[in-house]
């Protein structure tokens, strides 16, 4: 499986630990999808932070994805749900380490 396929699978299953383990220790997620007037984007730095962030979001049902579809070896499209607010999004693996861990991933509105 490619990194983007693993990312979609972990997100759909709300597997915050599995998701975090896809990233290098200094991996970064930049999420530019608007979810409210007060919080327009997320920048999450490091595997531990990714784990904690998604543990919270999944646990309190404040974030999920629906209808994930891998479109190529580095991108996937899905509906991102931010506590009831849906937005079409595209995730792109921008950089991976030599051992296949995600170093940088961005999520943008489609």
Structure confidence by residue, pLDDT tens digits, 1-23: 999 999 999 999 999 999 999 99
> Which strand (E) or helix (H) includes residue 6?
helix 3-12
- CA nearest neighbour of 102 among 29, 9, 17: 29
- Residue tagged 């296949």 (tokens): 100
For residue 20, give the 3-state DSSP assignment.
Answer: helix
d(CA 99, CA 90): 24
Provide, rounded to the nearest whole percent, the portion of the chain with pLDDT above 90.
78
Q: Is the pTM of this model over 0.75?
A: yes
Which region among 18-22, 39-43, 94-98 has the lowest average model confidence (pLDDT)?
39-43
What is the CATH architecture of 3-109? Roll (3.10)
What would the two tokens of residue 62 be? 């404040």
Question: Closest by alpha carbon to 106, among 91, 95, 96?
Answer: 91
């Amino acid at each position: 499986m490619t990194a983007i396929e693993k990312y979609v699978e972990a997100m759909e299953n709300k597997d915050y630990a599995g998701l975090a383990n896809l990233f290098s220790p200094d991996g970064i997620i930049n999420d530019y999808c608007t979810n409210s007037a007060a919080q327009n984007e997320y920048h999450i730095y490091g595997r531990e932070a990714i784990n904690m962030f998604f543990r919270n979001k999944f646990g309190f049902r404040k974030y999920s994805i629906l209808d994930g579809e891998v479109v190529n070896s580095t991108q996937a499209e899905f509906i991102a749900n931010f506590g009831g607010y849906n937005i079409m999004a595209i995730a792109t693996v921008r950089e991976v380490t030599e051992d296949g861990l995600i170093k940088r991933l961005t999520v943008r509105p489609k």
